[in-house]
Amino acid sequence: MTSTQIGDSSRKPLRVWPGIVAVVLLLVFRFGVKAAIPGITGFGYAVLGSLALALVLIVWWTFFSRSRRLERFGALALILAAMGATWLLKHDSMWLPWLFAYAIPLLSLAFVTWAVVTRRLPDRVRHATMVATILIACGAWLLVRQDGINGDHQATFGWRWRASSEERLLAQTAEQPANIASTSTATAPTTPTVAPSPSASATPDTAKDAAHATAVATTEKRGEWPGFRGARRDGIVRGVKIKTDWSASPPVQLWRRPIGPGWSSFAVSGDLFYTQEQRGENEVVACYKMATGEPVWSHRDTARFFESNAGAGPRATPTLSNGRVYTFGATGILNALDARTGAVVWSRNVASETNTQVPFWGFSSSPLVIGDLVVIAASGQLVAYEAATGNRRWLGPASGGSYSSPQLVTIDGVQQILFVSGSHAMSVAPADGKQLWDHGWSVNTIVQPALTPDGDVLITSQENGTRRLGLAHGAAGWTVAERWTSNALKPYFNDFVVHKGYAFGFDGRILSCLDLKDGQRKWKGGRYGNGQLVLLPEQDLLLVLSEEGELALVGATPDQFTEIAKVPAIQGKTWNHPVLVGDVLLVRNSEEMAAFRLSLF
């Protein structure tokens, strides 16, 4: 027997048990902790824990596995090269969350499995299978794309070669120029003009539609649902009572059509409604008929926003006022358009004018019209423009980032703009943007604040729950007092409503009722994911649109959770706010939109 043979036979087998323990703990952290702690908080803990255990695996393999030096460092070099190549060749939708939350855990599991299965096999077999294992575990990701995440930060994937819903829509519409109202890059302010009559660049479907739209614009200063969450931005549908026995009188579909991606809701005036969407490299403001869903006009800006979690498209909702529609795009383009024709009245690039970087999830503020001003949030800074000309009137204090929208309220007899931004809840004077008061809060600034009937302010966050603030105005200025803080209602990006002394909203992914007197939870029930809702106050009724696209009716009463009815509405992840105007309900997501007629009392 040769000395080489003696060395080979005496070499100890791989020590695999530390790797097995580490990869089991890694999977427990990545998926078990995430299951136990919902939302972005659980996702953060899960990813950090799994990354720490991936480092433990590297230490095990490098120093304690008993593998040969060439094998140890060769494997690490191959992993580094394979992961680097995968990162360079991956689909554009795959970003760091995919790498940390999915690619590394899968590779860790595959590598430890290889080590266990092949530990007693000849070196030549082991090395060949190691190379194959690493290349397959990394290269398999080149076959897929990420189709975003749900509200619980669970990613979905699709085949890379399969057309997305946006690509299918573009193929169907074939970019017909006749439907384009106007096009702009919005790199510089557009000179304000008087909105012209319909022309070749702004083409309603028929002259009859234009006449009807003109009548709507001249008889109404504001739409029936003028913008984000209604006229008061409180998600309350006043003066409507619907039949709730959906087994006898179910919602009747009026129409259904594909739509470009985006998380915009609707603004409604007469038989026209407005929304925002993405069409390829164009950010689109579109006007449609309520009765049929047919397009009337569209305005396009050469801009595209995309991030891998929520996908492409604008986040804000159009605002209607005095015959104009005001829109704010995800890259910072603020437009004032003629509501009849889509013709550009003026346009500003807020991002460049205020030197504001596009936020991670895009600009999300819906414009707020107050008299002769249009106010938007350039991330965490309020900016006011003259509604008629687009000239900037004032710039509010900078206070970090925000995905919330400004909201007009009256507190202690003083009209003010309420806003949550950075780690603050604050308000400014509409006339000049000067700060009236400020209250330190949470970094999660997405959900709209609300007023209680007696003028207190409710603010929320996923981390800290709900806080009630009492405000008073005196000779020395404003005072802000915390009345209570409760963790019984912790919404992520899902807005809540206030009704008869209670708040109704999402505690994570489950509907919850909170007593406004003391912050105590009255009930919790109904799993609707990260959906949205509106309130029908005359009926003590919540109309919920679930994250999965289902419609549900839930009692807005504090005694117990009661689901009255539930039906499917649209397909796909649904984060957009529903809108109910009269007996017509509008719903949409990033793939399709639909209208339903609800039976009224």
289 vs 181, residue with greater confidence: 289
How does the average pLDDT of the chain come out, rounded? 89
pLDDT of 195 higher than 80: no
Q: Which two tokens stand for residue 191?
A: 């000179």
The DSSP 8-state label assigned to residue 236 in this structure reads B
Q: What is the pLDDT of residue 258?
A: 96
Collect all residues with Cβ–Cβ distance below 8 Å to 212 and sequence separation of at least 6. Answer: 270, 271
Residue 363 and residue 478: Cα distance in Å, rounded? 30
**Amino acid in position 560:** Q
Give 348-355's long-range contacts (Cβ < 8 A, gap of 24+). Answer: 348/186, 348/189, 348/190, 348/385, 348/390, 348/392, 349/186, 349/187, 349/188, 349/189, 350/376, 350/378, 350/383, 351/378, 352/187, 353/189, 353/392, 354/378, 354/381, 354/383, 354/395
Mean pLDDT of 118-123: 92
pLDDT of 142 higher than 90: yes
Mean pLDDT of 478-488: 95
**β-pair type (180-184, 295-302):** parallel
Q: What is the pLDDT of residue 515?
A: 98
Q: What is the pLDDT of residue 1?
A: 43
Q: Are 339 and 306 in contact (CB under 8 A)?
A: no
Collect all residues with Cβ–Cβ distance below 8 Å to 309 and sequence separation of at least 6. Answer: 97, 148, 149, 153, 361
Q: Are 224 and 269 in contact (CB under 8 A)?
A: yes
Q: How far apart are the first and last CA of the chain?
A: 97
3 state SS of 199: strand
Q: Which residues pair with 182 in a beta bridge?
A: 299
Lowest mean pLDDT among 111-125, 144-158, 179-193: 179-193
Q: What is the pLDDT of residue 471?
A: 95
Residue 458 and residue 485: Cα distance in Å, rounded? 10
Mean pLDDT of 149-164: 91
Q: Which two tokens stand for residue 453?
A: 């009937």
pLDDT tens digits, one per residue of 67-79: 999 999 999 999 9
Q: Are 342 and 182 in contact (CB under 8 A)?
A: yes
pLDDT of 316 higher than 60: yes
pLDDT of 578 higher than 70: yes
Residue 272 and residue 345: Cα distance in Å, rounded? 19
What the chain holds in terms of domains, given with CATH numbers, is 3-159 (no CATH), 208-597 (2.130.10.10)
Collect all residues with Cβ–Cβ distance below 8 Å to 549 and sequence separation of at least 6. Answer: 568, 569, 570, 571, 572, 573, 574, 587, 589
Q: What is the pLDDT of residue 345?
A: 98
Q: What is the pLDDT of residue 401?
A: 87
Q: Is the pTM of this model over 0.85?
A: yes
Q: What is the pLDDT of residue 174?
A: 67
Assign 31 a pLDDT band (cuts: 50, 70, 90): very high
pLDDT of 202 higher than 80: no
pLDDT of 429 higher than 70: yes
Mean pLDDT of 272-286: 97
pLDDT > 90 in the chain, percent: 78
Assign 526 a pLDDT band (cuts: 50, 70, 90): very high
Query: What's the longest Cα–Cα distance across the chain?
Result: 103
Q: Which residues pair with 527 in a beta bridge?
A: 510
Q: Which two tokens stand for residue 390?
A: 């687009």
Assign 10 a pLDDT band (cuts: 50, 70, 90): low
Q: Are 350 and 328 in contact (CB under 8 A)?
A: yes
pLDDT tens digits, one per residue of 530-541: 999 999 999 999
Q: What is the pLDDT of residue 289?
A: 97
Residue 301 and residue 312: Cα distance in Å, rounded? 14
DSSP states of 301-370 as a string? EE---EETTTEES--S--EEETTEEEEE-TTSEEEEEETTT--EEEEEEHHHHTT-PPPTT---PPPEEE
Return the sign of the alpha-carbon dihedral for residues 113, 114, 115, 117. positive
Residue closest to 576 by CA, chosen among 494, 504, 505, 513: 494
pLDDT of 292 higher than 80: yes
Assign 331 a pLDDT band (cuts: 50, 70, 90): very high
Assign 400 a pLDDT band (cuts: 50, 70, 90): confident
Q: Are 71 and 13 in contact (CB under 8 A)?
A: no
Mean pLDDT of 421-439: 94
Residue 357 and residue 351: Cα distance in Å, rounded? 6
Alpha helices in 31-121 (DSSP H): 34-36, 39-59, 69-89, 96-98, 104-118
CA angle 41, 46, 47 (to 5 degrees): 100
490 to 421, 514, 524: CA distances (angstroms):
17, 11, 12
586 to 222, 274, 340: CA distances (angstroms):
18, 11, 20
pLDDT tens digits, one per residue of 371-388: 999 999 999 899 999 999
Q: Are 350 and 332 in contact (CB under 8 A)?
A: yes
pLDDT of 204 higher than 80: no
Q: What is the pLDDT of residue 567?
A: 97
Mean pLDDT of 12-40: 90
Q: Are 309 and 315 in contact (CB under 8 A)?
A: no
Mean pLDDT of 231-259: 97
Q: What is the pLDDT of residue 446?
A: 87
Q: Which two tokens stand for residue 572?
A: 């796909």
- Number of other residues whose CB lies within 10 A of the CB of residue 37: 15
Assign 223 a pLDDT band (cuts: 50, 70, 90): low
